[in-house]
Structure 1
Amino acid sequence: MPSDAGNTGKGMGHDDGSNWEVPLEEMRAQQRLIRSPNLEDPGYIRQKANNKLWVRERIAALLDQDSFAEVGSITGRPVVDEEGNLKSFVPANSVTGWGRVRGRKVFVTADDFSVRGGHADGGIGMKAPYGETLALRAKVPLIRLLDGSSGGGSVATYLTIGATYIPGLAGLGRSMDAMAAVPVVSALVGPVVGLAAAKAAIGHFSVMVKGLSQLFAAGPPVVKQATFEDLSKEALGGWEIHATNGTVDNVATSELDAFQQIRAFLSFLPSSIFHLPPVISSSDSINRREEDLISIIPRRRARPYDIRKLIRLIVDVDGNPYSDGSSFFEIGATWGRSIVTGFARLDGHPVGVLSSDCLVNGGAIDAFGSQKTTKFVTLCNHFGLPILNLVDQPGFSIGSLAERMATIRHGAAAMAALYTAATPIYTVILRRAFGVAGGAFADPDDGTGTRVSWPSGDWGSLPLEGGIEAAYKRQLDATNSPEEREKLMNELLAQFEDVRSPMKTAHKFGIEEIIDPRDTRRLACEWVAHMYQATLPQLSTYKQSMYGVEGRTSMGRGYKL
């Protein structure tokens, strides 16, 4: 006679004790209930009413077909009738397990918002943090699908346990440990609040779905009580807020688009810091010469150009798992917009791409652009991606707003990230390199890196126009009319025009080489191939010696790798 949840199989055969078939069938019955959506469940109905995928639909869409191997498949609470037959099952609101993305092993933790909105009172112990530890120890990327609080607090828990409690990190320490060794990425696929919001920020890449996901430290009811602001979820923490302030990296148009972006992001990274980024075969010749490159930088220095088109003309035209045929995958397009960052391939080799957008603030780097640079260079350095550094940097943003935003403080952090990066950097000066910011980008290795310039190079301590205004202010102010002042200014500019030619700098070996822009791809491909053969393996060996590739030493707070 079944007396507990261990004997919950409906219609099971008699267990004569000769083998384990009946207990196994009981387990399978529970798994079937958990893995099949209950179309009458209010949580599932609410999920579909909000045009959201169910948690297991998400996992199936993210991972390679039939690659998911669940961990904790019957974690939850079976519901039985008076005879002990299984009626239903209330699962934990976190689904975890192994899978594959483009053939490579990953670990997934996915919130099930249909069970108590993802709150702690619908969770089971430390299931999600345990999965993060597994990813770290197995040295595989960790993918989080965030929807709700990801097991974060709920006041309803107080009644369940009969007491309040001092809040802890709720597993966030495991997240930070994982970040030290493996790629950690998050898709925000619903309202992401509290603990989940912190998880979204503690990672290497995050993408939120436009109109479907929001992020906040506390939701609208708590905000209204605390600050008297009556805001919708979208007004409080929608994509237009967090995709423009850098809290999340990218925006997706749908859940499927978010999963595709995660797959694209991971395709450029190694499974852990102990391995090299994955090189693929490329059909794009390294000798491809694009004629557009000879004219893409306007001869008139004040005119803008399309930096993304320029990037696409240089990097591989195949091998992009997400975009338009170019291998360039942009990261952070909606924030820090004066800086352009992303991944691409050169002859199949993954690289980071760093540049400026002269269409935004003239390309001058501001506080957000500095933060974006720091984050991106740190990411590339951590996972051993060489950086293709395309420089057109007029300097730091100036003015009262720039000062209030602490531009120089954030800029100094970006300079430090560039200077201290161990990963190789190939610098191509496209046009401007002025002032401290120009120096940081044009000479990130302080004279020890690989650097070339296009014939459009234009550099100095200050741009000539502004520099002349400062250096000859007394003479200019002493003129008797605006016309006389403009005439003197033009005369001074003419005197300096000859010396501003990059050829003059090359004569003094102030720039190592000036190249034909059409040769940039070939030279960069040859450089990166050598880096993958000679330099990156040494960096990987160094990391193994530091951290112990087989778990002999530890990292972070003592979790074995």
Structure 2
Amino acid sequence: KRGRAQKMAMEWKLPYVRLLDATGGSVRTFEQIGRTYIPINPGTYGVEQVLCQVPVVSAVLGSVAGLPAVEACLSHFSVMVKGISQVFPGGPPVVKAALGYDITKEELGDERTQATSGVIDNVAETEEEAFSMVRQFLSYMPQNVWEVPPRAEPTDDPNRRDEKLLSIIPRNRRRGYDARAILNHVLDRDSFFEIGQFSGRSRLTGLARVNGYPVGAMINNPMFLGGSMDVAAGLKVIRLLQLCNTFHLPMVYFADEPGFMVGLESQKQGIVRAGAKMVCATYQTRMPWITFVIRQLYGVAGQCHDRPGGMFKRVAWPSANWGSMHIEGGATAAYRREIDSAPDPEAKRLEIERKLQALASPFRTAEAFNIEDIIDPRDSRPILCDFIEMAQETLKTQLGPTCGPSYMP
């Protein structure tokens, strides 16, 4: 039945929803059929095509192990129910046999490990809430890649200019702010559907609406790791980019990127290779993309706000600053010889940093046309609504599957 349902989704060009509460193979099967068998499952054949053609959702409603656990991730959106759902390749008896220690199924695979690791996107308190999340996710999506995402009846003024945007970014660059509030000030009010709240927390990602049109939306979260991209955030962003590119959703990015997360722990996690994947994933997209640089862009991670071709627009707020490296720290590296040879190295470092800071005005960058426009933050929503409206004609030319595989779980 699993394979039949998946085949129907492809042939009928309809979303595919899995309700999972099952385990995979069992050694009891060996006794029943009188032999062992090669682990293959025809029910998964073609899943890589399904993911590139129709929306796929997995709702985990109990303990799932083996293939059903993997199917939870073979989707564009997944949700589990707190207190009753667990996900693992092998349960406690398998862990005991393989590794020699006891563990409960809750400790092994409930939301405490699976949501924070990014295996499962969202967590619901009840099954009813899980079904509501499934419906909400699908409300932003087209039936298939041959259709334009559905527009809802607009309920928010496209020319709304919220005064709070003028002061929402602190003058002190070391202070954080409420990133979700910015989304609500600029996107259609209360339309942001967050995906992956508990993993990769330095970047908020999800779906939203702009004057009724569905979009992908993301913003750096300065309240976690200062908004720096770590491996987990990078993987979450890549999945959102691929989702939007596959299903023709414009991307809206509010950028405040201090750079890839540095330090020994980040190095051990493979941040450099994750960064390389992020660069490629960004350049492979073709959906319309608009970036608002709201505070900072630094290094290669900062570069990932930009795409060299296609329908791309970039504007900045007056609070923006940028560069290949931060002046603090970067000055010490670039001017090490001058600093070390000075009578007062600390005074020399501060002197150099002051000179460089005097060059850091975003208006100098705009004069050189290295940034297209610096805008009043209150104009962000009207500019965004105009861009998304214009993007609709471009989206119509992009309907159908993209060239090559467009989505990887």
* 8 A contact 1:289–1:521 mirrored in 2: yes
Cα distance change on mapping 1:141 and 1:448 into 2, 3 Å: closer
- The aligned counterpart of 2:98 is 226
Matched, 1:184 2:47: no
Matches within 5 A, 1:440-455: 440-441=304-305, 443-445=306-308, 449-455=312-318
Q: Which runs of 4+ in 1 moved over 4 A?
A: none
AA aligned to 2:136 is A
Q: List per-residue Cα deviations over 1:525-547 (Å, max 9, x = no partner).
A: 11001111x1000001x549x89
Matched, 1:369 2:233: yes
**Higher radius of gyration, 1 or 2:** 1
Q: List per-residue Cα deviations over 1:315-342 (Å, max 9, x = no partner).
A: 111xxxxxxxx00000011001111110
AA aligned to 1:212 is I
CA distance in 1, matches of 2:271, 2:254: 21
Q: Which 5+ residue runs of structure 2 have no aligned equivalent?
A: none
Matches within 5 A, 1:41-440: 127-149=1-23, 152-317=24-189, 326-440=190-304
- The aligned counterpart of 1:459 is 322
Matched, 1:505 2:365: yes
3-state SS in 2 of match to 1:277? coil
Please report how far the alpha carbon of residue 207 of structure 1 lies from its aligned counterpart in structure 2 after TM superposition: 0.7
CA distance in 2, matches of 1:543, 1:169: 26
AA aligned to 1:431 is R
Please report how far the alpha carbon of residue 447 of structure 1 lies from its aligned counterpart in structure 2 after TM superposition: 9.4
Q: TM-score if structure 2 supplies the norm length?
A: 0.95
- The aligned counterpart of 1:538 is 397
CA distance in 2, matches of 1:439, 1:177: 31
* 8 A contact 2:122–2:197 mirrored in 1: yes
3-state SS in 1 of match to 2:62? strand
CA distance in 2, matches of 1:137, 1:190: 29
Matched, 1:527 2:387: yes
Cα distance change on mapping 1:411 and 1:486 into 2, 3 Å: same
Compare relative contact order (CA 8 Å, sep 6+) and give the higher one, 1 or 2: 2
AA aligned to 1:528 is I
Please report how far the alpha carbon of residue 192 of structure 1 lies from its aligned counterpart in structure 2 after TM superposition: 0.8
Matched, 1:490 2:355: no
Q: List per-residue Cα deviations over 1:172-191 (Å, max 9, x = no partner).
A: 11433321211110111110
* 8 A contact 1:129–1:175 mirrored in 2: no
3-state SS in 2 of match to 1:164? coil
Q: TM-score if structure 1 supplies the norm length?
A: 0.70
AA aligned to 2:100 is F
CA distance in 1, matches of 2:187, 2:199: 23
AA aligned to 2:151 is V
Please report how far the alpha carbon of residue 166 of structure 1 lies from its aligned counterpart in structure 2 after TM superposition: 2.0
AA aligned to 2:319 is S
Q: List per-residue Cα deviations over 1:292-314 (Å, max 9, x = no partner).
A: 10110111111111111111111
CA distance in 1, matches of 2:72, 2:48: 12
* 8 A contact 2:140–2:149 mirrored in 1: yes
CA distance in 2, matches of 1:495, 1:225: 64
* 8 A contact 1:395–1:436 mirrored in 2: yes
3-state SS in 2 of match to 1:148? coil
Please report how far the alpha carbon of residue 398 of structure 1 lies from its aligned counterpart in structure 2 after TM superposition: 1.2
Please report how far the alpha carbon of residue 255 of structure 1 lies from its aligned counterpart in structure 2 after TM superposition: 1.1
Cα distance change on mapping 1:197 and 1:393 into 2, 3 Å: same
CA distance in 1, matches of 2:193, 2:311: 28
Q: Name the count of aligned residue pairs.
A: 406
CA distance in 1, matches of 2:36, 2:353: 73
CA distance in 2, matches of 1:380, 1:254: 28
